[in-house]
Amino acid sequence: MNNKNEQENIINWKIPEYDRPERNKTWYVIAIIVILAILTYSIITANYLFTIIMLMGSFMLFYYDRKEAPMIDFVLEEEGIMIGNKFYDYDELKNFSIVYKPKEDIKNLYITFSNNLRNRITIPLMDQDPLIVRRYILQYVDEDLERNHEPVSESIGKMLKLQ
């Protein structure tokens, strides 16, 4: 479903607000054991702030894992990109890359900001034609031709079913 509005010269599609990996019972058992071990260590060492942070993180992980990720709009416009209700001007972006490897189930647009303190954004291309998206965004932002694989951090996150 390629939504290109010629009148307004935009490309848009819906993406999940966050990744929600499929996890089995074994993953939950291992996660609970690891969390309990870390909590035990933090209590024994009297690191109560870390205990509180771990408890909050654990509750958030299990809470968001039970919810279906809401779908938000991703829009490529002439002025910049809109992700949900956040707008980013093309001047804020350093570069982009598209990694398209269907056999590995990788079909993503990666956006890097000029400000190094901002995280890279990964946008799933869903049903979009990567060539059309590339051609459109290339008008406004440089392409990072060096990136032709999924970042290692994302590969590890997928392997551990954290993202």
pLDDT mean across residues, the chain = 88
Tell me which H or E stretch contains 132.
Answer: helix 130-137
Give the mean model confidence (pLDDT) for residues 89-107: 92
Note the pLDDT of residue 161.
67
**How far is residue 72's CA from residue 85's CA, in Å, rounded to a whole number?**
9
What is the reported pLDDT for 108? 93
The model carries a pTM of 0.74
**Would you call 120 helix, strand, or coil by DSSP?**
coil
DSSP 103: G
What CATH topology corresponds to 3-16+71-145? Answer: PH-domain like (2.30.29)
For 78-82, 153-157, 159-163, which range has the lowest pLDDT when averaged over its residues? 159-163
Query: Tokens at residue 75, please?
Result: 């829009």
- Please report, for the chain, the start and end positions of each structural domain, with discontinuous segments joined by +: 3-16+71-145, 25-66
- Using a pLDDT cut of 70, give the percent of the chain over it: 93
In which order are the strands placed within the sheet that holds 86-89? Answer: 3-5, 10-16, 71-76, 80-83, 86-89
Give mean pLDDT, residues 64-86. 91
